[in-house]
């Protein structure tokens, strides 16, 4: 994604918020946050091998990577 954007000069047409989102998604920290294999088996078991557990673990990893706000969704109903 990053190489494609650089080749096409996509960054030139983005506003500041889009630019910040793009930079976050293409950062090393984001790539590392998505890599759940970096967590120990023990930690992954504590969160649980189900959608809710994996989602919460991923949210925690994003916060640790520097995200200022994380929203998670579990199921299809309106949960608060």
pLDDT tens for the chain, 80 residues long, are 666 656 556 656 667 778 777 887 788 888 888 898 899 999 999 999 999 999 999 999 989 988 888 888 877 766 56
The CA-atom distances, in angstroms, between 19 and each of 12, 60, 76, 80 are 9, 24, 30, 30
pTM flag (> 0.75): no
Residue 57 CA, chain-centre distance (Å), reads 11
Asked if residue 36 lies in contact with residue 58, where contact means CB atoms within 8 angstroms, the answer is yes
């Amino acid at each position: 994604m990053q190489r494609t954007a650089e080749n096409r000069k996509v960054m030139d047409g983005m506003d500041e918020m889009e630019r910040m989102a793009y930079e976050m998604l293409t950062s090393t920290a984001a790539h590392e946050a998505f890599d759940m294999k970096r967590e120990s088996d023990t930690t992954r078991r504590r969160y649980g091998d189900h959608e809710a557990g994996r989602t919460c673990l991923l949210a925690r990893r994003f916060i640790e990577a520097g995200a200022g706000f994380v929203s998670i969704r579990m199921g299809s109903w309106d949960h608060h």
